Structure 1
């Protein structure tokens, strides 16, 4: 017997879900949208969006200027509450800074959130992508090195379910864009313990990532080095940068265990 979707159960709070959809409508491209623009983006009626916006405005998360709406600084409480509950940034900050100084490249940590990775820590030395990356930035997990080391940890049935729900986009001619090819690559990442992605998100970018594990062995984050692409960088990545990345990963994992950080506090994989 097939169980009905959670959205149809008595426990599902539709108004809360709609309010969160409205909050997620705001981004760099739609920083001060009108009610109509938000309704079009989230696929809800103007009346529903209006009630959500007025409620969010009453709670202090949204402001208005004429016919436009904007997020207020109070929304940062939501993200920083998550980060502070992890204590992950404090444990990993020093390790990441030392790694960046050692290799002379930008270093980051991210967690998996559905189809995306979300940056929770970043130490930049230069801008390597056309989009600005910082804490809270999102990238497609399938085409990012940190996404691949986290996806590779999923059980086979969970990985198949994740792959079946994705819509793959070719960001460059090198992007792996089919479920079959990506699964083969993820199995290779699982076996070798790291992911090297070159020119799949942007032509001039490559990155090297390893998984970060909690005390129970489960992958809870990805750690990477982002670099401008060149054949020389690719040659150096595995021979010279991977050992440094692995040492930093080990130090972070030890710090996590000493700090008493619990795996259940991490952002869960979509199909656990």
Structure 2
């Protein structure tokens, strides 16, 4: 383990381990395991059954977990945690109208993502009003290296930080077309930096092509990325670049202008 890794793993004196364990329990539930038994939660978190039981019953008492016989699942109250974050974003008030307009103009799903460590997180989206439109749930987390939004944000990091992330990341094959080659990823990120947008085809989902443009804050740091998600059968790469890229770029430009002006409402 490197000295940097050891420093990052070293917990402060006032670290509350019980809070960490409670959050681990909440994080153990996912789409593949929406309901789990006590034993399953214990296995997923690495706790013994007695500890897992205490945390589950505490979370149930607080309303974050529900219980049906031996099965536990997340309760709707968990959404309050995510809503608190979303409502506190500096651009939350004005992002949605821009996404709605861009989706209406382009006929495609348009979304906003922010960075959380080595993942890209969708925080807002406008789903195209047509059949078979590509959908993306708010809160979905995907690897920076595999997504158009992630690459659009990551490409503007210093080269040494990009290298460190690539070297430390465990390859995740989301599809058989996911690029996990370190050298190819470095070249791809260089292209993104030069072109100002990232284009990903079927690396996250088969049949889906996406394009993303970053936007920056007052300090010229990447604040997030705007993406359009399209079906490969409906939109060609040429159409994506000629017709939809300008729409996405316009949203990113408006977000950037508003952030730099310190505005909290794009229409104010």
* TM-score, length-scaled by structure 1: 0.87
Give the match for residue 71 of structure 1: 74
Give the match for residue 165 of structure 1: 168
Give the match for residue 220 of structure 2: 217
CA positional deviation for 1:193: 0.8
1:114 matched to 2:117: yes
Give the match for residue 147 of structure 1: 150
1:83 matched to 2:86: yes
Mapped contact 1:6–1:12 kept (Cα < 8 A): no
Q: Distance in 1 between matches of 2:192 and 2:14?
A: 38
CA positional deviation for 1:213: 1.1
Give the match for residue 265 of structure 1: none
Mapped contact 1:92–1:255 kept (Cα < 8 A): no
Matches within 5 A, 1:7-22: 7-9=9-11, 10-22=13-25
> Aligned in 2, Cα 1:180/1:49: closer, same or farther, shift over 3 Å?
farther
CA positional deviation for 1:128: 5.2
For residues 27-54 of structure 1, the C-alpha deviation after alignment (integer angstroms, 9 at most, x for no partner) is 2221121111112222222222222212
Q: Distance in 1 between matches of 2:22 and 2:196?
A: 40
1:207 matched to 2:210: yes
1:137 matched to 2:144: no
> Aligned in 2, Cα 1:11/1:192: closer, same or farther, shift over 3 Å?
farther
SS at 1:208 equivalent: strand
CA RMSD, 1 decimal: 2.1
Give the match for residue 186 of structure 1: 189
CA positional deviation for 1:142: 1.5
CA positional deviation for 1:127: 4.9
* TM-score, length-scaled by structure 2: 0.88
Give the match for residue 259 of structure 2: 256
> Aligned in 2, Cα 1:188/1:202: closer, same or farther, shift over 3 Å?
same
Figure out how many residues of one structure are paired with residues of the other and give that number: 259
Q: 1:247 aligns with which of 245, 250, 258?
A: 250
1:228 matched to 2:231: yes
